Structure formats: structure tokens, C-alpha cells
Amino acid sequence: MNLPESYIPILIQAGVAIGFVAVSLLGAHFLGPQQKKGNSVKNQSWECGVPVEGNARTPFSIKYFLTAVLFVLFDIEIVFFYPYAVNFREFGMEGFLAVLTFVAIFFMAFFYVWKRGALDWDK
């Protein structure tokens, strides 16, 4: 196998990352606490003396996930604005039109989400 020298650091980093994951998983399995089998009282859920109500697997409201997605969407928008803000003189009118197009598409998506009621927190 004849690899160019530029691939060697990438392969070393990938090997270190895979090795770290393997050591972490194996270490957690063998060094972590072991639960005893059975239905003993120690294996039951307990929270400050309050009796357990319902199942822990109840679904979250979709508003929680929608808020997270919208937060990521706004963050990504800011990430794309930063290079333009740093180099706006070099981009000229063509760069300005590209950013204007990006903003227009972003606002179309924002108004779509707004009209669909995703930002109505009272519902």
C-alpha cells in the first residue's frame, strides 16, 4: 500500500480517535458499576421519596424539537454571515447580491415557519 505522505497525519488522527473510543467503551464496560440481576428494590427508580408516576419514555412536545431546529438554523445563518462581514469590500456587488439572495431565501423559510404556527408558543 503506497500512500502519499500527506495522508499519514490523517490516518494517525483517525487511529487515535478510534483507539480513544474503543478504550473509553471497554473501560466503561469493565470498570463501571455492575448492576445485579433481578427485581430487587435497589434496581427500582427512586427520586427523593416521590412515588414513580407513569413511564419515563413519554414523548416530548414537538415544540421542544422545533425550537432546537430553529436555534440551529439561526446559528448556521450567522456562521454564513461572518465571512461576508469580514470580506464585504472584496466581494463587491456580486457578493452583496449573493448575500441578498441568501437572506431572501432564509426569510422565505422563516415566514413559512411563522405561517405554519411554529412560533406560536401558546398552543
DSSP per residue, 25-63:
HHHHHHHSPPPPSS--GGGS--BTTBPP-S-TTPPPPHH
Q: In sequence order, which residues have a C-beta less than 8 Å from that of residue 109 and are 6 or more positions away?
A: 73
Cell numbers at 82, concatenated: 461572518
Instruction: Identify the pLDDT of residue 82.
Output: 85
pTM: 0.45
Amino acid (one-letter) located at 23: V
pLDDT confidence of residue 43: 65
pLDDT confidence of residue 12: 94
